[in-house]
Amino acid sequence: MKDSLLEQAFPMFHWSLNGVQYKYMRKKILLGLCILIFLVGVYHVYKPLPPQIDMTGPEHRISSQDVHFFSDRTYVDPSGERRSEQQIFDEIFRMVRDAHSYVLIDMFLFNDFLGTGTTSYRGLSGELIDTLVLKKQSNPDMVMQIITDPLNSLYGEYNSEQLTSLSQVGITVTETKLTALRDSNPLYSALWRTLIRWIPFGIAGDILPNLLDERREGVGIHAYLTMLNFKANHRKVIATDYLREDGSAGMSVLLTSANPHDGSSAHTNTALRIDARLWSDVVLSEKAVVTFSGGTFKEPAQITDMPVAENDISVQLLTEKSIKQLIIQELEKLNTGDSFDMAMFYFSDRDIVDALKEADENGVNVRLILDPNKDAFGREKGGVPNRQVAHELLSHSKGNTSIRWCDTHGEQCHTKLLIFKKGDTRTVIQGSANLTRRNIGNYNLEADVMVRGASGDLLFGQIETFFDTSWGNEGDRVYTTDYATYQDTSASKKLLYRFGEFTGISSY
């Protein structure tokens, strides 16, 4: 048999008659590829983070009059109708309208997707688009920067008309470069980075359903394959400047758990607006995201922080894993007679679970309001991970831990709020971060704010009232239900939760 041209040009590829040499080369190539994929996986789990990521900002002492609390809550009235009371985006719209020359927004979900079967919603994304466009048109020289996650374009498979409309009027839109971040799902992401990501767009057409909105046309396989990396810029941050009566410029920042996403518009959420000092850390942190994403960041003009007569409250910016570290530090400070309250959408992080067990053993009064993890934009979920964590905590409790579930009806209890009560001191942490490995393990981008002060301050009274009325309900408004309502002792789901948390093969 004559050698082929390939075999003549490259003797190393000569295939013997019985195929032994071919099989040997194939094994070597396969082994080399496996080693490459393994090394890629290891590197992207431990690689250096971009500068200014995993940030613990300095504690700023400011007046409590410069910190403001907002909330969204949904409940079912006695007639059975779902009702929502919303403050957060009304405040965001006001901040944009009143801005003098600078608007900076970093939002995870910024779209009008509705999932499946969603009928009762508010068009938050469109309202924000209209507010931003009108502001830019009224002041063309204004600096307006939007940072968002590529999920809104389905990782390049979908043209977001909303985000395009912002670019058309001169508002800068930066899509976060997620490949610069570490991989939370290395078993898949190593393969994706090495081989799958190079699959051309549109190779199989728009054959797959749009999971984020059943009304829309199908999407290509690339969107699904990229989504399986389970990583995101999950931040929800707004910064705008304002003019004081003396003509000097100040800046407000608002950190929240809420998204300008129509399908999320009925969720329960919280927010804090800080009108002094914290802005510089937020700008530094957001500049880092734009920079590693390949964009050009514009900083605000001269901002002046006025001297404060009463420095009676501390505020601090926390991003990524720094959030987890401070939470554990604050839990370790609590002793017998102290209290810890938390309202959380996703809770699975093993270190914080262990810290709560220890707090219970130390006599700390722990109250948790958790989402039952049953609703996801018209789709039903199985309760993982919250029901499994709740069962574990109560099984190990010495009687100091109590748990209630949000009484949801299609929406989610999307809050990420923690309240530490130690003596006469109150410490609150809230923002975008769920307490999961993915969210607070330096994989996602997250942004929270810590506020610390005296228990008698009006701000903490408002926050504690929000939690207490959610815990005990309020008149005819039912916000939460007993633990027994969604109690789940399933061993298989516990295994599923632990496997997902450990490996990163999960959506939480």
Go through the chain and tell me how many residues it has: 508
What is the rounded CA–CA span in Å between residue 179 and residue 292? 10
Q: Is the pLDDT of residue 140 over 50?
A: yes
State the pLDDT at residue 153: 93
- Residue 119 pLDDT grade (very low, low, confident, very high; cuts 50, 70, 90): low
Phi, psi of 334 (to 5 degrees): -75, 140
What is the rounded CA–CA span in Å between residue 313 and residue 150? 37
**H/E/C letters for each residue in 21-45?**
HHHHHHHHHHHHHHHHHHHHHHHHH
* Residue-wise pLDDT tens digits, 11-50: 544 544 456 677 778 888 999 999 999 999 999 999 999 9
Q: In what order do the strands lie in the sheet with 82-86?
A: 82-86, 67-76, 269-274, 249-256, 236-243, 102-107, 143-148, 172-175
Q: Kindly report the average pLDDT of the chain as a whole number.
A: 93
Return the CATH fold of 313-503. Endonuclease; Chain A (3.30.870)
pTM: 0.94
What is the rounded CA–CA span in Å between residue 257 and residue 432? 5
Average of pLDDT values for 452-461?
96
- Residue 137 pLDDT grade (very low, low, confident, very high; cuts 50, 70, 90): very high
Q: How far is CA 420 from the centre of its chain?
A: 22
- Residue 211 pLDDT grade (very low, low, confident, very high; cuts 50, 70, 90): confident
* Residue-wise pLDDT tens digits, 267-326: 999 999 999 999 999 999 999 999 999 999 999 988 999 887 777 899 999 999 999 999
Cβ-defined contacts of 303-310 (< 8 Å, 24+): 303/241, 303/249, 303/250, 303/251, 303/279, 304/248, 304/249, 304/250, 305/250, 305/276, 305/277, 306/244, 306/248, 306/250, 306/276, 308/61, 308/62, 308/63, 308/66, 308/276, 309/63, 310/63, 310/64
Identify the DSSP state of 204: T
State the pLDDT at residue 15: 47
Identify the DSSP state of 507: -
* Residue-wise pLDDT tens digits, 349-385: 999 999 999 999 999 999 999 999 998 877 888 999 9
Q: Is the pLDDT of residue 429 over 90?
A: yes
Asked if residue 313 lies in contact with residue 64, where contact means CB atoms within 8 angstroms, the answer is: yes
Nearest to 369 by CA among 336, 339, 345: 345
| Cα angle value 439/440/444 (rounded, 5°) | 45
Class at the top of the CATH hierarchy for domain 60-180+232-292: alpha beta
What is the rounded CA–CA span in Å between residue 212 and residue 230? 15
Structure tokens belonging to residue 165 = 């409309």
Phi, psi of 426 (to 5 degrees): -120, 135
Q: Return the number of other C-beta atoms located less than 10 Å from residue 483's C-beta.
A: 17
Identify the weakest region by mean pLDDT among 220-224, 403-407, 495-499: 220-224
- Residue 171 pLDDT grade (very low, low, confident, very high; cuts 50, 70, 90): very high
Could you tell me where in the chain the CATH 3.30.870.10 domains are found? 60-180+232-292, 313-503
State the pLDDT at residue 46: 97
* Residue-wise pLDDT tens digits, 231-272: 999 999 999 999 999 999 999 999 999 999 999 999 999 999
Q: Is the pLDDT of residue 120 over 90?
A: no
